[in-house]
Amino acid sequence: MIKKFLNKVFNKRQQAEIDINQAERDVVETAKKIPAKKHKINKSLISSAAIKTCEGLHNAGFDAYIVGGAVRDLLLDSKPKDFDVATNAEPEEVYKVFKRSRIIGKRFRLVHVMWGRETIEVSTFRGHHESKGDKNKGDASVNDSGRILRDNIFGSLEDDAVRRDFTANALYYNPKTEMVLDFHNGAADVKKRILRMIGDPVTRYQEDPIRMLRAVRLSAKLGLKIDKATEAPIAKLADLLHDVPPSRLFDEMLKLFLSGHAIESINILREQHLHHGLLPLLDVVLEQPLGEKFVMLALKNTDDRINAGKSSNPSFLFATLLWHEVLKAWEPHKKQMPMIPALYQAMDDVVKQQAKKLAIHNRFVSGMKEIWAMQPRFEQRSGKRPFGLLAHKRYRAAYDFMLLRCESGELPADIGEWWTTFADAKSEQRNAMLLPNTGPKKRRRRRPKKKPSNKEVSSV
Ligand code: ATP
Ligand code: MG
């Protein structure tokens, strides 16, 4: 009985293997096949979760490849940030193969397969939009400017390669055969360190304007040169970004700022005239010497942290990018109300204005506001107030932010030095450091004299 069962499993595996090899043979016609001894991918850089995902799909009789940026990074001998798998299995079929998985997305349906703390994104091969007539092949829609709103038409491996953005991102690695399939000369472009759009760049940017930001981010992150024809239309098409949903723009900008190459990315964004309107008036901030210095220092600080393997808090990052906007909006409010309510009003104005273009997630907005709201408290260095600030749960982020303000010349440097010493000092030293209270004395409200109660009156 057991033998019969094992035989059945074995036969199914063998059949799956034959099918995979057949599928791979079929695409050889159009793809270059690069064997392990030629591509020399270091297998220790490949996530075991990605390999297990491919194996699971292979064993169930499907094709599955590690694809996209992961293969590009492996060819560059660097450790990929994340791993994506492409397969001919449809989302529901992938979901059935893996116990710990879920189908996500509407615009682009795919499956997240979870292995411990790692998640592998599995997408079904995408097909051409022309095959829309075939109802069983999913749904797609495009708006008037050619932007793809939904992309759920499935196709062959070859179709999938055409739908990817850059040649370097259209490489498919089969962990079983260790072969890389290359449909668009991506491996040669990676070697030459060129980022080249697949197909006609104008059409591809119209389909998805985010690809312009991806070109900037990937070229900054990987040191790839954007090919001339790929680069040429960007400046002219920059306005297409206004049409992209603010939440998608936020995700892409976050990736860009947290890539460890934010400074280069901002420089390329400016060269390509893509920075207008992404963060309102980022271009204006960057044109004021103090604003530019502050933003650049903040981005350098973020790059250094990421490159040292530390995390970086998006609330902090966006708080720095928008701080000079808050300072500007604060001024007119100060004329109409006390300092602190005026600051809160300015913060609300800036966040509201920002949300029209690029919606910063709510969970980051509250952190940003806390960092901003704590800034005036660093200037109060007398009495009990510094102790309260030091004990605040967001003190560290607000302190780092204040140091950047000092470094950029917005605040006197001695304020930063004072807080650094104060935080490290022992209790008596801290008391000795406190400045005399020179601010306007708080007027004590006199308690109104107690009127004698009726009872007291009557007892007299
Ligand atoms: P990173 O190293 O930042 O992860 P990546 O190229 O892997 O870069 P992902 O967002 O992980 O970026 O996307 C995985 C793959 O999906 C890409 O390599 C590309 O093949 C494809 N892809 C992603 N976004 C697009 C897009 N907007 N248009 C076409 N293909 C895309
Ligand atoms: Mg990736």
Q: What is the pLDDT of residues 204-219, one digit of tens each?
A: 999 999 999 999 999 9
Indicate if 188 and 286 belong to the same structural domain. Answer: no
The reply to whether 184 and 86 lie within a common domain is: yes
Q: How confident is the model at residue 131 (pLDDT cuts 50, 70, 90)?
A: very low
Task: Classify each residue of 16-49 as buried b or exposed e, where b means 16 or more C-beta atoms within 10 Å of its C-beta.
Answer: beeebeeebeebeeebbebeeeebebeeeebbeb
Residue at which a domain ends, from 131, 161, 192: 192
Has residue 305 been placed in a domain?
Answer: yes
Residues 302 and 181 grouped into a single domain: no
The string of pLDDT tens digits covering residues 365-417 is: 999 999 999 999 999 999 999 999 999 999 999 999 999 999 999 999 999 99
Asked if residue 288 and residue 188 are part of one domain, the reply reads no
Q: Are residues 426 and 290 in the same domain?
A: yes
Where is the domain boundary, 192, 216, 242?
192
Tell me which residues have their CB closer than 6 angstroms to ligand 1. Answer: 68-69, 81-82, 84, 164-165, 169, 208, 210-211, 214, 255
pLDDT at position 455: 47
Residue 146 DSSP one-character state: S
- Judged against a pLDDT cut of 60, whether residue 454 lies above it is answered with no
Check residue 20 and give its pLDDT.
Answer: 47
Q: Exposed, middle or buried by CB within 10 Å (0-12, 13-18, 19+), for 8? A: exposed
Number of structural domains, the chain? 2
- Domain membership of residue 255 (yes or no) is no
Burial state string for 256-273 with b = 16 or more CB within 10 A and e = fewer than 16: bbbbbbbebbbebbeebe
Q: 176 with 287, same domain?
A: no
Q: Is residue 325 domain-resident?
A: yes
Work out the average pLDDT over 33-41: 96
Do both 288 and 184 map to the same domain? no
- The pLDDT tens digits of the residues spanning 137-175 come to 456 677 777 777 777 788 899 999 999 999 999 999 999
Distance of alpha carbon 259 from alpha carbon 428, whole angstroms: 44
The verdict on whether 303 is a catalytic residue reads no
The answer, yes or no, to whether residue 457 has pLDDT greater than 50, is no
Catalytic site includes residue 144: no
CA–CA gap between residue 268 and residue 252 (Å, rounded): 15
Residue nearest to atom 2 of ligand 1 (CA): 69
Is the pLDDT at 35 greater than 70? The verdict is: yes
Same domain as 59, residue 178: yes
> What letter represents residue 118's amino acid?
E
Residue 204 falls within a domain, yes or no?
no
Mean pLDDT of 55-80: 96
Which CATH number covers residue 60?
A: 3.30.460.10
Q: Ramachandran region of residue 337, left (φ > 0), alpha (ψ -120 to 50) or beta?
A: beta
| Residue 116 dihedral angles phi and psi, to the nearest 5° | 55, -125
- What mean pLDDT, rounded, does the chain reach? 86
Residue 369: CATH number of its domain: 1.10.3090.10
For residue 3, is pLDDT > 60?
Answer: no
Please report whether residue 224 resides in a domain: no
The catalytic position among 84, 151, 160, 227 is 84
Look up the domain containing 103 and give its range: 7-192
Residue 359: what pLDDT? Answer: 78
Among 121, 123, 165, residue to substitute to test ligand 1 (most atoms within 8 Å of Cβ): 165
H-only helix segments in 102-245: 157-163, 186-192, 201-207, 210-222, 228-231, 234-237
Pocket test for ligand 1, best of 108, 164, 167 (most atoms within 8 A of CB): 164
Q: Are residues 183 and 303 in the same domain?
A: no
Determine, yes or no, domain membership for 248: no
Indicate if 188 and 285 belong to the same structural domain.
no
pLDDT digits (tens, 9 = 90+) for 247-291: 888 888 889 989 999 999 988 888 888 877 666 546 666 777 788
- pLDDT greater at residue 443 or residue 402: 402
Residue 453 falls inside a structural domain? no
- Same-domain pairing of 303 and 170: no
Residue 459, pLDDT > 70, answer no
Last residue in a domain, options 133, 166, 192: 192
The active-site residue, picked from 63, 151, 165, 227, is 165
Q: Is the pLDDT of residue 23 over 90?
A: no
Whether pLDDT at 14 is above 80: no
Q: Is the same domain home to 421 and 288?
A: yes
Q: 456 CA distance to ligand 2 centroid (A)? A: 81
- Tell me if 445 sits within 8 A of 391, measured CB to CB: no
- Nearest atom of ligand 1 to the alpha carbon of 211: 27
Question: Rounded mean pLDDT of 50-71?
Answer: 97
Q: Two tokens at 359?
A: 């919606």
Question: How much is the average pLDDT of 74-99?
Answer: 96
pLDDT digits (tens, 9 = 90+) for 318-366: 999 889 989 999 999 999 999 999 999 999 999 998 887 777 888 899 9
- C-beta separation of 138 from 146 below 8 A: no
Judging by DSSP bridges, how do beta strands 194-195 and 225-226 pair with one another? parallel
Q: Is 173 inside any structural domain? A: yes
